[in-house]
Structure 1
Amino acid sequence: MSISKKDKPYTSNLKGVAALLGEGFIQTEAQDSSPYNVAINLIKLPSSQPRRYFDSEKLKQLALSIKEHGILEPLLVRPQGQEYELVAGERRLRAAKMVGLEEVPVVSKELNDQEALQISLIENLAREDLNSVEETEGILQLISLRLNQDTNDIVSLLYRMQNEAKGKVTQNVLGSEESKTIQSIFNTLGTISWESFVSSRLPLLKLPKDVLDILRQGKIEYTKATAIARVKNDLGRMALMEIAIKENLSLVQINERIKSSRTTNSESISLKARYKQVSNRLQKAPIWENPKKQKALEKLLAQIESLLDENSLT
């Protein structure tokens, strides 16, 4: 299939790509940046994709827009033999497939694996609908690539930076080249400071998986999800999550429900504990030899049996 060049030059809108990838990328960005059409079946997804969740309704809206106006911004790809690997623009690619396009406009660049993944991460971090979990994981992965360290080591380094900033330790971590690189990345992204990232974003990765899944789908704010995650009972936690989403409960309302639930559970546990204590004492007490007290016990037992019978009918 022939490839048709377009006259209109391509202008990247990836926020901070040039600044984060350095001067070498700025030079290559200016080269061969004219978009052209390629067959959509020649574009393959990379094995590692920063984005995991796509809102189906928003994807349908984009598909309708593409059907009416076409793809306004070309996809960024890199050549892979006779095919292409997608670097940036998976949402546009999915929407184009939904409306049955056979060709899509692309800009092809010679990129190594690290450059391609960094660009993909940065584009994902520039999304308007980015949720807090994706942001956290994306920034960690970006730092991991830049420093060539495991993400667990990056998390540890960030906490050490925080401890030093708070005066808890004097390790001079903040003066290291690694810390300067991290601060530079946050300054370039311009979405959140590294201090706020450590205090409010890193704790999200410790949330239960069910809560993380909901957060990734962007159905609830991270502050509300964090509060709901304090409910240890799995069924109770998910029940509260569903209500919070359905009724759009405020953080105050969520905390009130959690407090009320804990009070009820505490009273229930206290009553059970009292019954167990009384039952143990009753087994050893000489009350069984006293006819008057036996009659009182019979009445109490009859009331308990009546309560149990009523409960079995409800």
Structure 2
Amino acid sequence: MRRTTKASLPLKSKIEVPWDTTGVSSAPQSMPLDQIVLPATQPRRYFDPEALKQLTESIKQHGILQPLLVRPVDGGKHEVVAGERRYRAAQENELKEVPVVIRELDDNAAFQLALIENLLREDLNPVEETEGILQLLSLKLGRSVEEIPPLLRRLQHERKEAANSSNNVIGKTELDSDDAEPDDIVIDENDNLDSSNNVIGKDESDETHGSTPVNPDLKIVEEVFLGLGLMTWESFANNRLPLLNLPEDILDALREGTLEYTKARAIAQIPKLNERVEFLEQAIALNWSLSEIRQRISEKKAAASTPNTESNNYKERFTAATTKLRKSRIWSDPKKRKQIEKLLAQLETLTNVE
């Protein structure tokens, strides 16, 4: 079975949407560029300057081959739903008109279509892909984006509990060995889960397979990931959600496509911001491999721990010694008191020399 990639997926995808994204009901038409505006909320925030430059040059030579998808908005304008890169490249080329397909879409439908269009692009960076999937789940589930990560964790917990309570082996759909990640688990819809488990959003009207209620949230989540064809929802929860906990400077590098995720996780271990930023810049500029990054981080940790191991932090040692000295009974011993007097005299001599 051929491995499914973003490039092999049509824009329509398998996600149910309230509009047709392939067969256009209206023929493309030309529209003045100054009548088109960008949406206030755009799923994609970063555009690779080099890729945009190449697209601009291509449009300069061949024109816009695929029309922009737009929708009517207030003021007689039309808002870009899909095709922002083409729109920007057209501006760079100072085109007067561009080909468009006009659709009547409300805010929710337009945003969902823009999300899907972006998620199925080959060059979307992992941060924006993760954020886009969370936004799509938010719309499909009718919950805030902030509620989605804990919801996925709860679904994972319920699935593990159900698996532990059953002696049956959890069935899974057939996947290519290069498709599945170690944590990818796909549950067949006919699998029975223990009905005593807490099911999020469960009520008496839920659909059932046999006598077992089906979690409506889980069903929606599985449909979204099946439609996108990028990964399973368990893989997303295990491997992608932690990405958003990385420091902002690391996330920026990921958004710009200058750093791979595995390298980002390694560099994020450096706690101090200034050291991390400096290390990050060097790693990108010199194109260090993951093994080089790990080695250099280990060396930094070893160097940082050396002063403490060898007790060379003199100020801390002096403070600790004087604290102990005040509480010590050494002052009642005449011999030791004389030694202290000599040491004090030496210290006074040192400070006088300065």
Interval containing the TM-score (normalised by the shorter chain): 0.7 to 0.9
1:93-112 map, 5 Å: 93-112=87-106
TM-score by length of 2: 0.74
Q: CA deviation at 1:279?
A: 4.5
Taking every aligned residue pair, what percent have the same amino acid on both sides?
43
What is the CA–CA distance in structure 1 between the aligned matches of 2:325 and 2:266, rounded to whole Å?
Answer: 43
Which segment drifts farther, 102-111 or 265-274?
265-274
1:113-262 map, 5 Å: 113-167=107-161, 170-173=197-200, 175-262=214-301
Q: Which amino acid aligns with 1:163?
A: H
What is the CA–CA distance in structure 2 between the aligned matches of 1:231 and 1:52, rounded to whole Å?
Answer: 27
Structure 1 portions without partners, runs of 5+? 1-12, 310-314
TM-score by length of 1: 0.82
Q: Which has the higher contact order (CA 8 A, sep 6+)?
A: 2
Q: 1:278 aligns with which of 314, 321, 345?
A: 321
Indicate the SS of the match to 1:25: coil
Residue pair 1:15, 1:123 contacting (<8 A) in 2 also: no
Query: Is 2:55 aligned against 1:62?
Result: yes
Q: CA deviation at 1:288?
A: 7.8
Which segment drifts farther, 205-214 or 102-111?
205-214
What is the CA–CA distance in structure 2 between the aligned matches of 1:301 and 1:253, rounded to whole Å?
Answer: 49
Indicate the SS of the match to 2:294: helix
Find the counterpart in structure 1 of residue 338 from structure 2.
290
Q: Could you say if the C-alpha distance between residues 213 and 21 of structure 1 is closer, same or farther in structure 2, counting changes exceeding 3 Å?
A: same
Q: Which amino acid aligns with 1:69?
A: H
- Aligned residues between the structures: 292
Q: CA deviation at 1:296?
A: 10
Q: Could you say if the C-alpha distance between residues 84 and 290 of structure 1 is closer, same or farther in structure 2, counting changes exceeding 3 Å?
A: same
What is the CA–CA distance in structure 1 between the aligned matches of 2:279 and 2:339, rounded to whole Å?
Answer: 51
Alpha-carbon RMSD: 2.9
Structure 2 portions without partners, runs of 5+? 1-7, 165-196, 201-212
What is the CA–CA distance in structure 1 between the aligned matches of 2:269 and 2:337, rounded to whole Å?
Answer: 50
Query: Is 2:14 aligned against 1:19?
Result: yes
Q: Could you say if the C-alpha distance between residues 275 and 164 of structure 1 is closer, same or farther in structure 2, counting changes exceeding 3 Å?
A: farther
Q: Which amino acid aligns with 2:86?
A: R
Q: 1:37 aligns with which of 30, 35, 39?
A: 30
Deviations 1:102-149 (A, max 9, x none): 111111111111111011001111121111110110000011111111
Find the counterpart in structure 2 of residue 10 from structure 1.
none
Q: Could you say if the C-alpha distance between residues 159 and 254 of structure 1 is closer, same or farther in structure 2, counting changes exceeding 3 Å?
A: same
